[in-house]
Structures are given as C-alpha cells and as structure tokens.
Structure 1
Amino acid sequence: MVIDLERLFQALSPLISGEPMDDQAVGSTFRRLMSTLMSFDYVVVFAYRGKERPIDLYSTFDAKDHVLFVSLYQAGPYLLDPFYHAACAPKPGVWRMRELAPDRFFSSEYYRTYYVQTGLAEEVGFFVPVSDQVTVVLSLMRREATGAFSGVEFALLRKVEPLVAALVRHHWGELDRRFDAALARTGRSRRKAVHPPADGVWQHLNLTEREAAIIELVLQGHSSESIGLKLGISTGTVKVHRRNVYRKLGISSQTQLLSLYIKNLGH
C-alpha cells in the first residue's frame, strides 16, 4: 500500500492544533491516521482500570457487531482477554494478540465460545498508559478474509506508536475521573470494584484464593505448566487444585467452568 502523504498530514492536523476533542473526534483522527498507512476492517478503543468495566471510547462497528465486540465483551469476557491483562500489567507499546495470548489460549473455551465468533484473522493493539491505573488500548482488527498484518506493516505500526501515544495522552489523559463517575452511577466504591480473585466471582462458591487464581488462569488459556510457572508451584500441584475445584463445583469440563464463570460475574 502506497502511503498518501496528503491524507497523512490532514490526519495529523488535529494534533498540531492542540484543540481539545471528544471521544469520537479522537477516535476518528486515529482511524484516519492508520488508514493512510495500511488497510484494516475495524477499530475499537477501550480504556481499562483494574477489574472495572472497560470504557468504550470509540469503535467502527455496525449495530450487530457492536453487540459482540463491545456490549457482550463489557459484560464480563474482557476479564479473560489477553489485551485486558496486558493493559493491567501494563505493557506499553504495540502488540499482536498472539504475542500476548497464553500458551493454550487458542484452544481455550473462551476462545472457542466467544473470541472465534469475531471472525478475526488478527488483532493488533497500541497500549498507552495514561495514569498509574488507566491504560488505553487502540485496536486494529482484520477479518479472516483480509488476512493478518505483515511484518512490514507491523514494523510501521511500531514506528508510528510514539505519535499515537501522544494523541492519546493529550486528549484522553483524565480518564480516572470517568471511571470514578461510572462507579458512582452504579453505587459501587472503588474498593468493591477492585478485589482479589477469592473475593470476586468465585467467592460464594467457596473457592480458596489459590483455587480461584488457578481456575481463572485456566479460563484465560494457560496450561498447567504455565500456571505453575506464574504461581511458583509444581505442575502436579496445579492439576490437583484443578481436580479439587471441578469436584467442589460439581463439573467435569472447561465448558461448564466458563458457564459458571460468566453466570457469576454479576454477583
């Protein structure tokens, strides 16, 4: 794809002017900037703060796709998303989904029952921390028919990352206030919104903190070996905990586990 310098300079003009812009204008500026460099099918921008419901800042989906990519995602599946976990780490820069995904992500129940519905060949994200707690992730998505981003295209995205980060920090630098306002509307406190696993979705199912941590990593797509490395325990210990959890919950499959997880997110 030949870069259209005239369109590129036009896309950069809002940055140069320094005028404050709303979410739609910032998102559109980002989309126009990226479209001068390469093709893609969708753009979506989320802001993340801990386990709180992500803020949908901008997207290019039609009404049907918006339900899947935004509304359903915000209802709970984001907690299993590799992009969400990278945002919480945080991991600034530009990342491909497959670089961040756990070793068994593409065979996980979350991938089979939710992510595969998106029909995406690849998702690439710009990760921009804007405060100690908030990270904005700007995603470029390509459908299977379009194909993945090439190595040359990804290298170009890395080169433009400082400009994207400047755009985000200039116009979306006060997102903590919006998260606080969203919590206030629900009547919840920040303390209740940010909790360890044992006090979260598994609390009323009487899982220990260690069991809850292991089972959430299972749902994210980590193998027993990967979980052991992350938690500093043996693979055998992970498997014992997993069997105990399945017996305690009266289930026998990851499909049932994911169903319980989604069902109890609102508790």
Structure 2
Amino acid sequence: MSQAIADLFAETGATGYGAALDRLTRIGADFDMSCVFGFSAQKSPVVIHDGYSETVDRRALQSYLRGAYLLDPFYAASIGDIPEGLWRMRDLAPDAYYDTEFAWSQEVHPCISDQAGTLVEEIGYVVPLTGRFTATYSLMRNRGGACFNEAEAERLRQLLPVIAASLRLHWDVSCGSDQTSNPALDSEEVFSAAFHVLTPAQQAVTKLILRGHSNISIASNLDITEGTVKQHRYNIYKRLGISSQSELFQRFIDYLGG
C-alpha cells in the first residue's frame, strides 16, 4: 500500500493522477468504473477524473454536464451539508430514485451503456475542497457483479484520510487555481424554463418526480397531501400532452439538448 500512496502523491497535478487514485482505491475493493467530479452550488461541475470505460458513450457525459447532474443524488448531497465520508448511493437517493429514467438512462448517465451494462451499485467518497467545491469520487460496479459488502466498505473507509488529503492537494495544484468560470445552473430556473407551460406548483412537483421522489415523499417535501400530488401529476401530464414519467424525463433531456 505504501508504494500505491507514494505513486498517488507523485502524480498530484499530473495526467496520471486519476489512474493512480484508482490503483490505491482498488486495494480496498475492486470496481468497474470510477469518476471524480467537483461540485459547487455556485459553479458548473468540474471533471477531476474520468475513469469510465472506453465503451461508454461520451455524449452521455456531455448531457450530464449540460444539466442532467441536477438529478444526481451525489450532486444534491455535495452542495448540501453532508459530512465528509464514504456514502452508498442508496443512502443518499430519494425513495423512488431507482424507478427513475435518469438512474438507467444511456443518454445522460455516463456510466450506463449497452456495452458497460447497468449499475449494480455506486458508492462514493464525498470530500470538501477549497473554493466552495466538494469532490465526489464515485466507484461503480456493473450488472453481473455484486454490491460492495460491509468488509469492502470498511476497507474503503480506512482509505478515506489518504484519499481526502490527496484529492484536496490535487485540486489545489491542478484545478483550484483554474476553476471553471461558468456559473452553476440554477435548478429552479432550469425546471422553470424546461416546463414553462406548467404552474410554479406543478414545476415543483415535476422536479421532485424527476429526482426520484415517490408521491408520498413529494407530499412530505412540499407539505401537501398525497392526493394533491396525484392531482398535480395528472394535470402535469395532461398539460404536457404525455402519459408517462419516461416521457416527462425525455422532455427534460430534450430541453437540455437544446
């Protein structure tokens, strides 16, 4: 392990950093794909490390960066008050997230493709950085694999101090002084523009539907009844001329694509 740590810090600020980071992390547990994003509520996402398989369509990453990241539970957690640590996607995601189109979409989810398969699990380190950014280092296993067991998760947690220190140093050396100047998308403005024919109340419900909240969860978040949510959902579909959640998702993706 000591050699892997030495190699990692030797690659700080260099193009080989991501590969060195993955080599160290695989000492804790193996995985199929990885990525590191720098997320901020004020700036657009920064790709710190792209460890996706070469078989993944690059257009999905472009769609993700254009705005689909607004639906990602790791993004929502990173700009919130989540503490530094190792987190499973299922512990951060809304209750109906795995029923959403985003969770399985080849168009906007960079780690989903026919070639690479669908995810069996995603686990990630969340590490605060300078400049009001937070890094999310995601580790993913594809269909046909197994979820990270508790022994593997514990070994990954033991690597957290080294990985966090390394990510912060790499960020300061190679990214922190050259942060993207593009402002972050305002989620309220995005959903308002994408679904401008809807009322503000309907837009609020639409956003939560797309993020993976069930009717019960939406009712709790908006402090309304489940029956009111169902009525909003009916009116949303009727006003947009659609009949399913997948069509609602496609409307959002079409908007992001211009």
TM-score (norm 2): 0.83
User: 2:240 maps to what in 1?
Assistant: 249
Structure 1 residues 242 and 132, CA gap change in structure 2 (3 angstroms):
farther
User: 2:211 maps to what in 1?
Assistant: 220
Task: Determine whether 1:93 maps to 2:85.
Answer: yes
1:197-220 per-position Cα deviation (integer Å, ceiling 9, x unaligned): 2x2243262333332221111011
Deviation of the 1:149 alpha carbon:
0.9
For the Cα contact (< 8 Å) 1:81–1:220, is it kept in 2? yes
1:212-266 per-position Cα deviation (integer Å, ceiling 9, x unaligned): 2211110111101111212222222222222222222222211211111111125
User: 1:108 maps to what in 2?
Assistant: 100
Deviation of the 1:112 alpha carbon:
4.1
User: 1:5 maps to what in 2?
Assistant: none
User: 1:162 maps to what in 2?
Assistant: 161
TM-score (norm 1): 0.81
User: 1:139 maps to what in 2?
Assistant: 138
For the Cα contact (< 8 Å) 2:7–2:20, is it kept in 1? yes
Residue identity over aligned pairs, in percent, reads 33
User: 1:10 maps to what in 2?
Assistant: 3
Q: Secondary structure at the match of 1:207?
A: coil
Q: Secondary structure at the match of 2:94?
A: coil
The 5-angstrom pairing of residues 38-53 of structure 1 reads 38-50=29-41, 53=44
- The letter for the 2-side match of 1:149 is F
User: 2:231 maps to what in 1?
Assistant: 240
**Hey, what's the Cα distance between the residues in 2 that align with 1:166 and 1:242?**
45
1:63-121 per-position Cα deviation (integer Å, ceiling 9, x unaligned): 33152663343243322122221222142311111112211112222234345644221
Over the residues paired in the alignment, what is the CA RMSD in angstroms? 2.6
- The letter for the 2-side match of 1:264 is Y
Deviation of the 1:194 alpha carbon:
3.9
Q: Secondary structure at the match of 1:123?
A: strand
Stretch moving more, 44-53 or 254-263? 44-53
User: 1:200 maps to what in 2?
Assistant: 190
Match of 2:28 among 37, 40, 44: 37
**Hey, what's the Cα distance between the residues in 2 that align with 1:20 and 1:84?**
26
**Hey, what's the Cα distance between the residues in 2 that align with 1:23 and 1:54?**
20
**Hey, what's the Cα distance between the residues in 2 that align with 1:227 and 1:57?**
33
- The letter for the 2-side match of 1:215 is T
Number of aligned residue pairs: 248
For the Cα contact (< 8 Å) 2:104–2:118, is it kept in 1? no
- The letter for the 2-side match of 1:9 is S
Task: Determine whether 1:65 maps to 2:56.
Answer: yes
